[in-house]
């Protein structure tokens, strides 16, 4: 049977799955990763310490808020480094893994081609394609070992080649997003010098930021914006409430 | 050409790629994710606050360490909730994305099969397989639309079906690992009531834990254990040093 693609069928220039590529955009994913934690954890920590410190210290002009700003900035430094370097190592490990697997596939194609051929047959059989119908495909791959190897990487292992520059870019993006997100809940403590009032402003400002961030995140990742906005809002609120209660219980 | 798989070839019971499956093990990945941050951020925060608080408070029995324990527990509560719920939502979004794409492929196979056939030809052409050699494969897929759809999911989009129970399990695993990791650096502050001494013990205990965790992580993920151990050690150390310096500068 011939494939039914008449030559007068126009080539679709805008692919139907365009948003899929954007959705997978690594920069967006890294910003979301860093900012989600950056907006949440320093916010919750600041709320937690606000709930725990001495009432006298809390209403003493500047002293209570200075402590919270100090702890908050320490958290932002620690969190952004931990997440940024973590992202760097994850991206590097992914690349090393890909290269190791590619070397292995290369060796297997040379050393045990019969086994590799059988793997293709088995994969295609799970989709109801018989060994006979797979034979021309295998014969074509055998004429070009490099492409055979790439075929096995994608279709046997489901691995795509990672971008070599990804690790460094990923680390910088995650860390910066964490810092930007983390400064939002701390700013009120810098400008308002009594803790309870700074805490109220921080809660309002950060919950708005969480809502807006969730909304944008939803738009770029394909979740409904309102759902996504409510999710980040609830996570940030829960984390801050838990931190507040636990800090108050132990102090 | 027939496929060369003589029927007397023994079936390989232990697959050559066994570690690959373990490497991808989702529970291990979730534990690593939670514990890496859990060991690092509360440790760095405690070090940061230790460096920032008043010398008089630091050496006052119990008062300085109580502050650090409070802030540390608040951080653990916030961090574990933020990471756990974040993992939950990420897993759920992945599943929703998969299902949406599957519905789309299903519709496309019914509404524009010629376009889908052409997509298969284009994919295979990138591996040097001609349209003619792909024809029997396409014909076989056309006889079974559900498998054709599954084939497109895997081979066009590179998506594998996520486990529906993954989201909840993932959240619990990440959060628990974060709590366990986060308690390690805090324990010395619970048992030693002068800050500088508690800080020293916390640094030693946590760096050993980071080294050991990195070693195990390397063993399970395929990185060389010593490389992995040094990486987590350095990340934890850097994050704590940065938090210490920043907290001291602003206080």
Selected residues 165-194 of chain B with any CB under 8 Å from a CB in chain A: none
Q: What angle do CA B207, A248, B34 make, to 5 degrees?
A: 35
ipTM, 2 decimals? Answer: 0.73
pLDDT digits (tens, 9 = 90+) for B111-159: 999 999 899 999 899 898 888 898 898 989 988 888 999 989 988 888 8
Provide the chain B residues 78-97 that lie in CB contact (below 8 A) with chain A. Answer: 78-79, 81-83, 85-86, 89, 93, 96-97
Chain B CB within 8 Å of residue A110 CB: no
Rounded to the nearest integer, the mean pLDDT of chain A is 83
Structure tokens at B56: 């008089």
Three-class DSSP category at A149: helix
Query: Alpha-carbon distance B201 to B192, whole Å?
Result: 9
Q: How many CA atoms lie within 13 A of A4 on its CB side?
A: 8
pLDDT at B215: 92
N-term to C-term CA, chain A: 77
pLDDT category, B5, cuts 50, 70, 90? very low
CB contact under 8 A, A242 and B121: no
**Alpha helices (H) in A192-224, listed in sequence order:** 195-221
pLDDT band at B248 (very low <50, low <70, confident <90, very high): confident
To the nearest whole Å, the CA of A226 is away from the closest chain B CA by 14
The token pair at A139 is 């014969």
Band the pLDDT of B229: cuts 50, 70, 90: very high
Q: Which of B139, B140, B247 sits opposite A70 (nearest CB)?
A: B247
Q: Any alpha helices (H) in B1-62, and if so which ranges?
A: 18-23, 26-52, 55-59
**Is A207 in contact with A79 (CB distance < 8 Å)?**
no
Cβ of B71 and A73 within 8 Å? no
| Contact list, B148 vs chain A (CB under 8 Å) | 127
A223 touches chain B (CB under 8 A): yes
In angstroms, what CA-CA distances link A18 with A23, A159, B81? 9, 21, 34
DSSP-based three-state secondary structure for A144: coil
> Is-contact B38 B170, C-beta < 8 A?
no
Among left, alpha and beta (phi > 0; psi -120 to 50; other), residue A164 is alpha
Residues of B in contact with A138 (CB under 8 A): 1, 3
First vs last Cα of chain B: how many Å apart?
Answer: 77
Instruction: Check CB contact of B111 with chain A, cutoff 8 Å.
Output: no
Distance separating alpha carbons of residues A142 and A120, to the nearest angstrom: 12
Cα B114 off chain centre by: 39
- Closest-CA residue in chain A for B232? A86
| pLDDT band, residue A98 (cuts 50/70/90) | confident
A147, B128 contact by CB (below 8 A): yes
Q: Measuring CA to CA, which residue among B89, B73, B88 is closest to residue B179?
A: B73
**Can you list the alpha helix ranges (DSSP code H) found in chain B?**
18-23, 26-52, 55-59, 63-111, 113-125, 131-142, 145-155, 166-191, 195-221, 225-250
Rounded CA separation A170/A86 (Å): 10
Tokens standing for residue A7:
């030559």
Residues of chain B above pLDDT 70, percent: 90
CB contact (8 A) between residue A73 and residue B40: no
In this predicted structure, what is the pLDDT of residue A206? 94
Q: Are B41 and B233 in contact (CB under 8 A)?
A: no
Euclidean distance between CA atoms B178 and B117, whole angstroms: 47
Q: Is the pLDDT of residue B15 over 60?
A: no
CB-neighbour burial class of residue A115 (10 A; exposed 0-12, middle 13-18, buried 19+): middle
Average pLDDT over residues B61-72: 84
CA-CA distance, B169 to A104, in Å (whole number)?
A: 33
- How far is Cα A14 from Cα B3, in angstroms, rounded to an integer? 39
Quote the CA–CA distance of B176 and B158 in Å, as a whole number.
Answer: 31
């Amino acid at each position: 049977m011939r494939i039914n693609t008449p030559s007068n069928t126009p080539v679709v220039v805008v692919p139907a799955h365009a948003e899929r590529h954007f959705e997978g955009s690594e920069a967006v994913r890294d910003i979301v990763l860093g900012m989600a934690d950056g907006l949440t954890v320093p916010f919750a920590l600041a709320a937690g310490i606000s709930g725990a410190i001495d009432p006298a210290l809390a209403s003493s002009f500047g002293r209570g808020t200075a402590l919270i700003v100090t702890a908050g900035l320490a958290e932002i430094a620690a969190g952004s480094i931990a997440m940024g370097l973590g992202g760097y190592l994850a991206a590097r490990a992914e690349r090393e893994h890909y290269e190791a697997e590619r070397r292995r596939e290369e060796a297997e194609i040379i050393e045990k081609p019969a086994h590799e051929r059988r793997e293709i047959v088995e994969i295609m059989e799970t989709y109801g394609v018989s060994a006979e119908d797979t034979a021309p495909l295998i014969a074509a791959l055998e004429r070009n070992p490099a492409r055979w190897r790439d075929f096995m990487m994608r279709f046997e292992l489901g691995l795509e080649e990672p971008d070599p520059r990804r690790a460094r870019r990923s680390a910088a993006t995650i860390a910066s997003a964490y810092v930007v997100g983390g400064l939002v809940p701390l700013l009120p403590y810098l400008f308002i010098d009594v803790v309870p009032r700074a805490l109220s402003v921080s809660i309002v400002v950060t919950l708005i930021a969480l809502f807006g961030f969730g909304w944008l995140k939803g738009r770029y990742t394909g979740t409904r914006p309102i759902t996504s906005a409510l999710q980040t809002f609830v996570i940030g609120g829960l984390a801050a409430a838990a931190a507040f209660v636990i800090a108050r219980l132990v102090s």
